[in-house]
Amino acid sequence: MTEIASKNWYVIRAVSGQEAKIKDYIMTEIARLGYSEQVEDILVPTEKVVQIRKGKKINKERVYFPGYIMIKANLIGEIPHIIKSVTNVIGFLGETKGGEPVPLRASEVNRMLGKVDELTLTTDHIAIPFNSGENVKVIDGPFNGFNGTIEKVNEEKRKLEVMVKIFGRKTPLELSYMQVEKL
């Protein structure tokens, strides 16, 4: 089959915040109309981000290119029209009025896909924002409100040993990064 070789990556411009919904809708619409073999892949590039809300660590996925969806397809016949007619789709990136959608160059695709792969690898190694000798305030747990000095940073356990003065005595506490903030 020679049609497989002619599949290219294109970028669909879409309403920001709706990328995942639009991707799912395009996939079901293409399958319903029997064009599944012409569309190889639809991607919404995302990155994992860690947010701290009320002292809790929350993992979220954030869209890396808001408003853009990547699609690898053979855009023949009705396929571009089907995609453009989906609600919240603005059109294809780089197309001229009434012209054909412009495929991405191989270097652009590799850079974008490489960035996505790179993001999935680097999520687990969040840099430790604290150093020994820094003064911190405990913001969570039974010692909330106490100030102390970081004695040790344990990267393996992802914990800090903080010296806190309790009733005039220095006491070591083992705390997570989420339980303290810099003074």
The b/e string for 41-53 (b: 16+ C-beta within 10 A; e otherwise) is ebbbbbbeeeeee
Query: 4-18, 43-57, 150-164 — which is least confidently predicted?
Result: 43-57
Domain span at 153? 135-182
Give the pLDDT score at 147.
93
Domain boundary among 122, 151, 170: 122
Q: Are residues 95 and 177 in the same domain?
A: no
Q: Do 178 and 52 contact (CB within 8 A), yes or no?
A: yes
Q: Are residues 98 and 156 in the same domain?
A: no
Model confidence pLDDT, tens digit, residues 115-148: 655 555 544 455 667 889 999 999 988 889 999 9
Give the pLDDT score at 123.
45
- 11 token code pair: 């970028």
* Amino acid symbol at 71: I
The larger pLDDT score, comparing residue 100 to residue 142, is at 142
Q: Are residues 108 and 141 in the same domain?
A: no
Query: 77-91, 110-124, 128-142, 160-174 — which is least confidently predicted?
Result: 110-124
Model confidence pLDDT, tens digit, residues 10-50: 999 999 889 999 999 999 999 999 988 888 989 888 878 77
Q: Are residues 80 and 118 in the same domain?
A: yes
Give the pLDDT score at 126.
56
Total domain count, the chain: 2
Establish how many alpha carbons lie within 13 A of residue 164's alpha carbon, considering only the half-sphere containing its beta carbon.
20
Q: What CATH number has the domain bearing residue 76?
A: 3.30.70.940
Q: Rounded to whole angstroms, how far apart are CA atoms 158 and 156?
A: 5
For residue 61, what pLDDT band results from cuts at 50, 70 and 90?
A: confident
Averaged pLDDT for residues 81-86: 89
Averaged pLDDT for residues 162-175: 90
The larger pLDDT score, comparing residue 65 to residue 137, is at 137
Averaged pLDDT for residues 76-99: 84
Q: Do 89 and 77 contact (CB within 8 A), yes or no?
A: no
pTM metric for this prediction: 0.56
- 27 token code pair: 């996939």
Q: What CATH number has the domain bearing residue 164?
A: 2.30.30.30
For residue 150, what pLDDT band results from cuts at 50, 70 and 90?
A: very high
Q: Are residues 32 and 114 in the same domain?
A: yes
Q: Are residues 98 and 173 in the same domain?
A: no
